[in-house]
Amino acid sequence: MNEILITPQKSWKTILNELWEYREVFFFLGWRDILVQYKQTVIGVLWVIVRPLLTVAVFTIIFSKIAGISSGNIPYPLVIFSAMLAWQFFADMLTYASMSFLSNEQLVSKVYFPRIMLPASRLLCAGVDFCISFLCYLLIAIFRYQYFPSLTIFFLPLFGIWLAILSLAVSLLFASLIVRYRDFRHILPFVAQLGIYCTPVAFSFCMVPQQLRIFLALNPLSGIINGFRFCLLNEPLYGQYMAISLVVTVVISLVSVMYFKKAEEQFADII
């Protein structure tokens, strides 16, 4: 009979072993999120498509038609939609995964399993939404604008992994903070609403003055979106700024994991 010894401090090797042993829990929680999300909506899968399309339409009218921002030879709606693929994934993780510990209070306080499974399992649901939106993007790009992706599209999984790591890291950090500091629940909506304007969704690096690009690169999503547009629209890669975004991602990930590892010990007592 297998025994699990729960200790106040666990080594990284123990944590990784537990994640593998409880992998079925990860898929169960992820499948549960998918079922709940699509069963409780009237239009179901269509809502995943409607959200980015509405944003694309509004941003195109405001920034392209009214403000007169030019995207060169690339259709402006595709510039926005390619960025919305990354932003929607991140916003979904931020909104739902950040509340995972608090919304699963009974599981956290009464059942033992690696707690990181709760926010991480949201990756499955966000991934399904991403695939649906990505298919919609391809259909619009090919049949509406006759814009066919080049071979650079095969690099997209690399930036997808980067996006998943960043989204999980930020969500894990907020989820851990919310357990102790409930005020962070009220900050998340503002981050989700205002963050899109601090991220190059409606514009790209080439539209930003060079002296300001380094500040834009401090937002790690900037490097990811640049990568998405490189893969889908052949936008040039801004290597030095992408490197800054990657370093910021690593720092956020380390801070997130370290804080979670420290805070997890008291979850069951204070949640």
Distance of alpha carbon 238 from the chain centroid = 21
Least Cα distance to 89 among 36, 27, 132, 150 occurs for 132
- Token pair 């950090």: residue: 173
pTM of the model: 0.88
pLDDT value of position 40: 60
pLDDT value of position 212: 87
Tens digits of pLDDT across the chain (271 residues): 455 444 445 565 666 677 677 778 778 888 888 777 777 665 666 777 888 888 888 888 887 777 777 777 888 899 999 999 999 999 999 988 888 888 877 777 777 777 888 898 899 989 999 999 999 999 999 999 888 888 999 999 999 999 999 999 999 999 988 888 888 888 888 888 888 888 989 888 878 888 888 999 999 999 999 999 999 999 999 989 999 999 999 999 999 999 888 887 776 666 6
Q: Domain segments of the chain: what residues?
A: 12-270
For residues 243 and 265, what is the distance between their CA atoms, to the nearest angstrom? 34
pLDDT value of position 5: 45
pLDDT value of position 1: 47
DSSP-assigned letter for residue 112? -
Least Cα distance to 126 among 156, 85, 154 occurs for 85
Classify burial at 113, counting beta carbons within 10 Å of its beta carbon; exposed 0-12, middle 13-18, buried 19 or more.
middle
For residues 51 and 54, what is the distance between their CA atoms, to the nearest angstrom? 5
pLDDT value of position 13: 63
